Amino acid sequence: MYTKRVFPVKVVLKWTRRHIYLFLLIATIPVFLFDVVGLKWLHVPWLPLGVLGTAISFLISFKNNASYDRLWEARKIYGGIVNASRSFTLMINDFISNKHTENPLTDDELFKIRKEIVMRHIAWMTSLRHALRQHKPWEGSISDAAEQEYLSNVEVREWAYSLDEELDGYVNEVEKKEILSKKNKQAACLNLQSNHLRRLLDDGLIEDFRHMEMQSMMTEFFTLQGKVERIKNFPYPRQFATLNYFFVWIFIILLPLGMMHEFEEIGKSVVLDIHEHMKVHSSPIHIIVEYVGTYFIWFTVPFTAIVSWIFHTMERIGETTENPFEGNGNDIPITTMSRGIEIDIRQMIGDDPALIPEPIELQFGLQM
C-alpha cells in the first residue's frame, strides 16, 4: 500500500499508459473516417450517449464502494489480529507460572515455554500471509501487464521465499513437518498451539480459568483467520465485475462517435462567426482561427482520450481494490503488519533484542 499522502501522478500515468495509447487510437480512427474519408453518417446522437455515461458512472461508483468495503474490512480484520496478538502475549506472560504446579520450573525454563508459544504464533501469522498471497484465477495481477510491470520492481516476500524457508526458527522440525503436511497450514499452527496449552494445563503451569481464557484466544484467532479467508476465497461477484468492464468499454468505443459531431458543429460555428465579425479576412488571426475551426473536429481525439481515461481508471481502481491480499500496490500490507506484530510480542516477553528482526523497509514508497 502506498504511504505518500498524494498518490504520485507519474505512477498513475505509468500504470495506465498502455490504455492511454489505446484510447488515442480508438478516438483517431472514427475521426479519420468521418473527416478525411467523408463518412459523415458515422456518428451517434450525444443525448443517449450522455445517458449511457451517467448510468455507467453510477455502476462504477457502486463497484468502487463495494471494493473499498472489502479493503476496509480486510484492514479491520488485520487490526484485530494485531490487538489479539498483543492480548494473547499478555496472557502468556502472566498466566504461565509456577503458582499451581507441583514441579516448579526455573525462570529460564518458563521463558523458554513462553517464547515457544510466541514463536509458534508468529508461524501462524507467517502461514496465514502465505495463504493469502496465493494467486486466485480472478485476481488481475496474474494477467494484467501493468500489474506485472509493477510486481517486477518490488519483492513480495511470500513469493520470494517458500513457507518452508520462512518457518525456520519459529517452530521445530517436527512441528514444521506437521504444519507443511496439512492443506490448511495456518489452522495446523493453531491446533499445535492448542495442544501445547492443554499440556501446560496438565502440568499445572496454567490453571482451568486461565486455560479457558487462552483457549478463547485460539477461537478468536480462528475467527479472524476465517474472515480473511472468506475475503480471499470469495471474489467480488463476477456478474457485476464483468458487466462493468464490458459497459465501460462499450462507452469508450461509442464516445468518439458522439463527440466528433459536436466538435464539428463547434468548428463550423467558429468559422461562421469569424466570417461575420472579422473585417479583414486575410489577417493572420483570421487565418489561424479559421484553420482551427475547420479542423476543430480533431479535438475529439484528446478529449475522448481524457474522458475514456477517467472512466477506465476509476473502473481499474475498483478492480485492483476488490482483492486486498493479492500483492499489488493497493493491498493491505500484511507482510509489514505481521513483522510489526512479531517485533511487538517478542519485545513483550523480553526476547533478546539482537534476535528480533528489523521492520520491513518500504519499496518505492510501498508497504508490502
Instruction: Give the pLDDT mean for 115-119.
Output: 95
In whole angstroms, what is the distance from residue 361 CA to residue 359 CA? 6
Residue 103 lies in a domain: yes
Is 291 a residue whose pLDDT tops 90? no
Is 9 a residue whose pLDDT tops 70? no
Q: How confident is the model at residue 361 (pLDDT cuts 50, 70, 90)?
A: confident
Residue 173 lies in a domain: yes
Residue 59 lies in a domain: no
For residues 211 and 89, membership in a common domain is answered with yes
* Mean pLDDT value across the chain: 85
For residues 172 and 100, membership in a common domain is answered with yes
3 neighbors 366 (Cβ within 8 angstroms)? yes
Q: For 196-205, how does the pLDDT look when each residue is reduced to its tens digit (9 = 90+)?
A: 999 999 989 9
DSSP 3-state of 2 = strand
Number of domains within the chain = 2
For residues 342 and 276, membership in a common domain is answered with no
Please state the separation of Cα 186 from the chain's center in Å.
Answer: 22
Is 1 a residue whose pLDDT tops 60? no
Q: Which of 80, 120, 348, 95 is closest to 213 using CA atoms?
A: 95
Q: For 226-269, how does the pLDDT look when each residue is reduced to its tens digit (9 = 90+)?
A: 999 999 898 877 777 788 888 999 999 999 888 888 877 776 67
The model's pTM is 0.85
Is 147 a residue whose pLDDT tops 80? no
Domain region containing 31:
1-42+237-321
Is 6 a residue whose pLDDT tops 70? no
For residues 316 and 359, membership in a common domain is answered with no
Residue 51 lies in a domain: no
Question: Higher-confidence residue: 53 or 320?
Answer: 53
For residues 253 and 232, membership in a common domain is answered with no
Residue 47 lies in a domain: no
For residues 230 and 243, membership in a common domain is answered with no
For residues 367 and 218, membership in a common domain is answered with yes
| C-beta neighbour count of 328 within 10 angstroms | 23
